[in-house]
Amino acid sequence: MTSQILEELNERLAMPGLTFVAGPGDLPVVQIENEHATAAIALQGAHVLSFQPSGQGDVLFMSRQAIFAPGTPIRGGIPVCWPWFGKNASDPSLPQHGFVRTMPWEVRAAGSGEEGTYVEMALTDNDATRALWPHPFELRLIVTVGRTLRLELVAINTGGQAVTLTSALHTYFAIGDASTISIHGLEGLTYLDKLEDYAQKHQDGPITISDETDRIYLDTAGTCTIEDPKLGRRIIIAKSGSRSTVVWNPWKTRAREMRDFAPDEYQTMVCVETTNAATDVVTVGPGDAHRLIVVISAEQA
C-alpha cells in the first residue's frame, strides 16, 4: 500500500531534493534536502519530523520511543493540533488536540521558490472528520524548508456557518539541557497555569524550567527565542495569526507516565507552541480562511 502511494507521489511531484520515501513504521514521508537544510515530513498529520540546517543538529526533538503507526500521534517534531487544542471543551471524550494529527493528508503540490523547497498538503472533511466535528472545511499546510522552516496552516471554512477553532503548531524543540535554557519574548505577560487549574499568573523576566511546566501565555503576537548555552544555539520563533503561546515540559514524573517518551528526555526537549488557545479562539466565517504561520530559524554561536 505504502509503496503504491509513494510511486504515485514520486511520479507526480518528485524533483531534485524532494522525494517521497517510506519512513519509520512504513509511514509515507516527504524527504527534502537543499543547500540550506534537510527535513522530513510524515503525510500522517502533515507532521514535520525533522529540520536540520546545514552544519547543525536537528532543531526539532523526536523521542527515541516515538510510535510510528497509522492513527497514533507522534511524540516530537511538529504535530498539527486542529480544530481544537487540548481537551475538547464540550466533549472531553473526543481525541485530545483534535483529529488531524493522526489522519493521512494528501499532497497537493511541491516545488522550490526564493524561500526554499516547499510542499503543500491538504485535508478536507470526510466521514471520519464529520463523525468527530460536523463542519465542512479545507485545511492546508504549506511547509517551506530553506534557511528557515516555515509552516503556514490555512483553515478554510467551506460550510455555510461560522465555526470557532483553537489550534496549535505543537513544536518540540531539541535543546541541550532544559534546566539551563531560557525562553525570551514572553516577559511581563499573563499566563494560564494548566497545572494549577488554569490559574492566571504573571511572567517576570525570561522563562526558565526547573519542574513540570504547562502554560498558555496570552497576548503573544511577538517573536520568541530559546537561548541554549549547552548547544551554543539560539532558536528564533516568529509567527503570525496567533495571539497565544504554549510552553510545555513534562519533567521527570510526567515523563515516566508517557509510553512514547523516554524517562530522561525531558532534559533535551521543550515545546514552544504557536497556538490559538484559551481566550485566543478564532472564528472563521463562511468562505473565509484563517492563517496560522510560524517561521523557525536557528543560529549557532
Point out the residues that are catalytic. 170, 273
CA angle 147, 154, 96 (to 5 degrees): 100
CB of 50 to ligand TA6, least distance (A): 18
Q: Are 266 and 161 in contact (CB under 8 A)?
A: no
CB of 51 to ligand TA6, least distance (A): 19
CB of 147 to ligand TA6, least distance (A): 27
Residues in touch with ligand TA6 (CB under 6 A): 73, 86, 96-97, 170, 194, 214, 246, 248, 271, 273
Of the pair 6, 207, the CB lying nearest ligand TA6 is at 207
The separation between CA 255 and the C-alpha centre of its own chain, rounded to angstroms, equals 19
CB of 194 to ligand TA6, least distance (A): 6
Of the pair 77, 86, the CB lying nearest ligand TA6 is at 86
Q: Are 203 and 189 in contact (CB under 8 A)?
A: yes
CB of 101 to ligand TA6, least distance (A): 8
CA distances from 271 to 148, 152, 156, 160, 299 (A): 18, 18, 26, 35, 18
Of the pair 214, 228, the CB lying nearest ligand TA6 is at 214
Residues 142/95/226/196 CA torsion (nearest 10 deg): 150
CB of 260 to ligand TA6, least distance (A): 8
Of the pair 278, 295, the CB lying nearest ligand TA6 is at 278
Of the pair 127, 257, the CB lying nearest ligand TA6 is at 257
47 phi-psi bin (left φ>0, alpha ψ -120 to 50, beta other)? beta
Of the pair 231, 277, the CB lying nearest ligand TA6 is at 277
Q: How far apart are the first and last CA of the chain?
A: 45
Q: Is 2 helix (H, G, I), strand (E, B) or coil?
A: helix
CA distances from 247 to 35, 145, 163, 285 (A): 31, 24, 26, 29
Q: Are 208 and 269 in contact (CB under 8 A)?
A: no
- How far apart are alpha carbons 39 and 32 in whole angstroms? 5
Which of these, 295, 300, 298, lies nearest to 116 by C-alpha position?
295
